[in-house]
Amino acid sequence: MLGDRTGLFLSSPLSKQRRTKACAMIITVRLYEELNDVLPIEQRKRAFSHELPKGSAVSALLNELRISVARVELALVNGRSVKPSYILQHNDYVSFFPVFESLDVTPLVRFRSRPLRSPKFLTDQTSGALGEKLSQRGYDVRREASMDDAELVEVANREERILLSVRAGFGRNTGLTRALSVPDEDPEVQLAHLLERLDLV
């Protein structure tokens, strides 16, 4: 199951005025990655409660949270992937994930048939040849062989780039939000791995 139920459950600051008890339901919401930007900083990346009219669909919840459907790749209700038209029930646990760049969600129910985002990449000293291959295919690639790790993390986060590196586990516990380890192989093999992993083939 993607997501978790850890952390404090906080009341959503985006709820409408309290509705009558007979017409309302309470659900628990968890937003992931950049979807959190609709929330106050102190309430990001944790679960919170939200009140909705009974019979509301997932799309209605997104509307109340001021999140465009176009920004969402995957919605889970109690651990199961659903479409925007899915009708929510009292006490449901809903998780929203942004357009994926490094997670295979092929077996799940996406909000659309293909990702909307055109990924941007950043390469380090271990993945420059792969970056050149990606550039030849028309992708936006920034190659930085001389940057130290802190600089790479800062650039990747600021420019919303996926950092590519042969170094397994690079970026953990550094605040890096987008990274992908590639095999220490020939650049053609790395390219094939990357295109399949990001569903770009």
pLDDT digits (tens, 9 = 90+) for 168-191: 767 666 777 788 888 888 899 889
Residues 86 and 147 in one domain: no
- Helix %, strand %, coil % for the chain, to 5? 25, 25, 50
Residues 142 and 81 in one domain: no
5 within domain boundaries: no
d(CA 162, CA 120): 6
Element spanning 154, H or E: helix 149-158
Bridge partners of 123? Answer: 143, 164
2 within domain boundaries: no
175 within domain boundaries: yes
Tens-digit pLDDT profile for residues 25-37: 999 999 987 788 8
Residues 90 and 155 in one domain: no
- How many structural domains compose the chain? 2
Residues 132 and 89 in one domain: no
Residues 125 and 91 in one domain: no
Residues 152 and 187 in one domain: yes
Residues 15 and 65 in one domain: yes
Identify which has the larger pLDDT, 172 or 136.
136
Reported pTM: 0.52
Residues 25 and 94 in one domain: yes
78-106 average pLDDT score = 81
| φ, ψ dihedrals at 59, nearest 5° | -60, -35
Residues 53 and 128 in one domain: no
Residues 140 and 80 in one domain: no
As to burial, measured by CB atoms within 10 angstroms (0-12 exposed, 13-18 middle, 19+ buried), residue 128 is middle
d(CA 144, CA 122): 7
Report which of 34, 134, 171 is spatially closest to residue 163, judged by C-alpha positions. Answer: 171
4 within domain boundaries: no
65 — pLDDT class (breaks 50, 70, 90):
very high
CATH label of the domain that carries residue 54: 3.10.20.30
Helices (H), 31-127: 58-65
Residues 132 and 185 in one domain: yes
As to burial, measured by CB atoms within 10 angstroms (0-12 exposed, 13-18 middle, 19+ buried), residue 64 is middle
The first and second tokens of residue 92, run together, are 């449901």
Residues 148 and 82 in one domain: no
pLDDT, residue 1, reads 42
Report which of 36, 39, 80 is spatially closest to residue 88, judged by C-alpha positions. Answer: 80
**Domain span at 51:** 10-98
